Every structure is written in C-alpha cells, then in structure tokens.
Amino acid sequence: MTISTEELFMDLDRSGPIPLYYQIARRMQEAIERGDLAPGSRIENELKLAEHLAISRPTIRRAIQELVDQGLLVRRRGVGTQVVRGRLTRSVELTSLYDDLSISNRSPTTKVLLHEEMRPSAEILESLTLPADATVLHIKRLRFSDGVPFALLENYLPPEFLTLTAEQFEKHGLYQLMRARGTTMRVARQTIGARVGTAEEAQLFDQKPGSPVLVMSRTLFDQSGHAVEFGEHSYRPDLYSFEVTLVEK
C-alpha cells in the first residue's frame, strides 16, 4: 500500500535560499508526474514522512498542501493522503501566453498592429484606478504560433509603461517586459466568454465572417495592489482553450 519514499527525498539543501517545503513539494510533484507515485496510492503519513526526512510536521504539511492546491493530492482526515486518479493537465497559472508557448516550444511571434498613447474610456480608467486626466498606452498585437495567427491581444497600460516601444513588444512578451522593469505580478482577475468575431478578427484569424471567438478580459495587479494591466484578448477557438483546476477548500 504505502510506497517507498526514502530514496526520493534525499539531499535536501538546508542552507540554500530555496525553502525546504518547496524542495519537497517539487520532488513529490515530479514523482507523481513520472508515475513513481501511482494514482490512487496512499503516501506515508505526515508524522513518518517528517521523521524520515528529518523535518518538522508543519513543513511536510506545507509541502503536501502545495500539491493539494494543485489538485494532485487529496487528503482525508483519519485516512491519509492519496494521489488523485486521472490524467494530468497543466492548469492556468499567472504566466503570460508568450511564456506558455515558449515553454512548449511553439516559437511564438508577435506583430504589433497598434501602439499609441490615448485617453482611455471611463471603464478602463476605473479598471486601472487612474485619475480622470491620465494617459495610457494602448497596444494591439497579433500573436502567431508556428506562423499561424491565433490570438488578438488588446492591452491598456498605466502611464509608467508609456516608454515601452513597439519594437520591444515585437521581441518580448508583455509580462517579460513588466518583470524587466521591476513589476511583480500578484493577482489577476479574468472573465472568459465567447462571442461572434468581428470583421477584423475574422480577417486576421483567416476565418469566415461570423465565426466564433473565445474572449478573455483581465485586470492584473502588482505586489502593492495597483492595477498594472487591463487587457481584452480574443482567440481562435480551434487553436486555443483555457485549463482550470479547482480545489474545494
């Protein structure tokens, strides 16, 4: 029943900057994804795990909690902790589309269709919590995967990003540029829906007029709670979809 975990968790780096609970969580995650921890199998109980790894129970609990939050493990009081049975899917995280594609070796490219300063609408002002006389950067980009256009990205950025150039947006993802300027993203609120594509979208996506598009609008907040992006994106639905993992608390 209980699988051997001894070898898997040796060589924890206790001096480096990476937290112990994080090191353990990553190793368990890899073990599950490799199949070393079979779906449905129970993992050792928390006290024994703590003893074997020579760490405290709160630390191993925190590591386990990470994987529970990812939907890889399920805990039951009085019983134990089990690996969820079922295929693995990577869930939506706070990474950009560009990062996602780069990771899966899809060679994303970007064409900037519009790059202007503007006085935004009241709705966008409110989303970004800016004063009424503020100027924002308005950009519109077409994103390609292996040369095929599949996403139209329209974004509004607060004044501190006015200096970003069209050339930079051709070469880098928005989040890369934000990170490079010291902005740390923390929270994003997204709404996902669908509608009939506009004439522009149909033409750009090489689809018939009246074809559906998947749409997502997002407000992104940085580490101090300020809104740093408002975006309205549309996707060719046969080439893109969202994955979400939900965990009951």
Binding site for a copy of itself (CB under 8 A): 39-40, 71, 74, 76, 79, 82-87, 89, 91-94, 126-127, 129, 184-196, 210-214, 219, 221, 223-227, 237-238, 240-248
Task: Residue 178: count other Cβ atoms within 10 Å of its Cβ.
Answer: 22
Q: Residues 89-106, buried b or exposed e (16+ Cβ, 10 A)?
A: eeeeeeebbbebbeeeee
User: With contact defined as beta carbons under 8 Å apart, do 8 and 31 qualify?
Assistant: yes
C-alpha distances (whole Å) from 218 to each of 71, 128, 153, 188 are 24, 11, 11, 7
Q: Which of 5, 29, 81, 234 binds DNA (CB under 7 A)?
A: 81
Q: Is residue 125 involved in binding DNA (CB under 7 A)?
A: no
The size of the interface with DNA (CB under 7 A), counted in residues, is: 24
194: its two tokens: 């669908």
Q: Is residue 79 involved in binding DNA (CB under 7 A)?
A: yes
Among a copy of itself, DNA, none, the one that 55 touches (CB under a kind-dependent 5 to 8 A) is DNA
The minimum distance between CB 224 and a copy of itself, in angstroms, equals 6
How does strand 42-43 pair with strand 73-76? Answer: unpaired
> How far is C-alpha 134 from the chain's CA centre?
29
User: With contact defined as beta carbons under 8 Å apart, do 191 and 146 qualify?
Assistant: no
Q: Is residue 9 involved in binding DNA (CB under 7 A)?
A: no
Among a copy of itself, DNA, none, the one that 107 touches (CB under a kind-dependent 5 to 8 A) is none
Q: Residues 126-144, buried b or exposed e (16+ Cβ, 10 A)?
A: ebbebeeeeebbbbbbbbb
Among DNA, a copy of itself, none, the one that 209 touches (CB under a kind-dependent 5 to 8 A) is none
Q: Is residue 52 involved in binding DNA (CB under 7 A)?
A: no
User: With contact defined as beta carbons under 8 Å apart, do 127 and 227 qualify?
Assistant: yes
| Interface of this chain with DNA, residues 11 to 40, rule: CB under 7 A | 17, 19-22
Q: Which of 3, 26, 39, 61 binds DNA (CB under 7 A)?
A: 61
Among DNA, a copy of itself, none, the one that 62 touches (CB under a kind-dependent 5 to 8 A) is DNA
Tell me how far apart the alpha carbons of residues 120 and 158 are, in angstroms, rounded to a whole number: 10
Q: Is residue 56 involved in binding DNA (CB under 7 A)?
A: yes
The minimum distance between CB 17 and DNA, in angstroms, equals 5
Cα torsion through 119, 185, 72, 8, rounded to 10: 160
Identity of the residue, 184 or 191, whose beta carbon is nearer to DNA in the bound complex: 184
Q: Which stretch binds DNA (CB under 7 A): 79-87, 124-132, 159-167, 228-236?
A: 79-87
Q: Is residue 41 involved in binding DNA (CB under 7 A)?
A: no
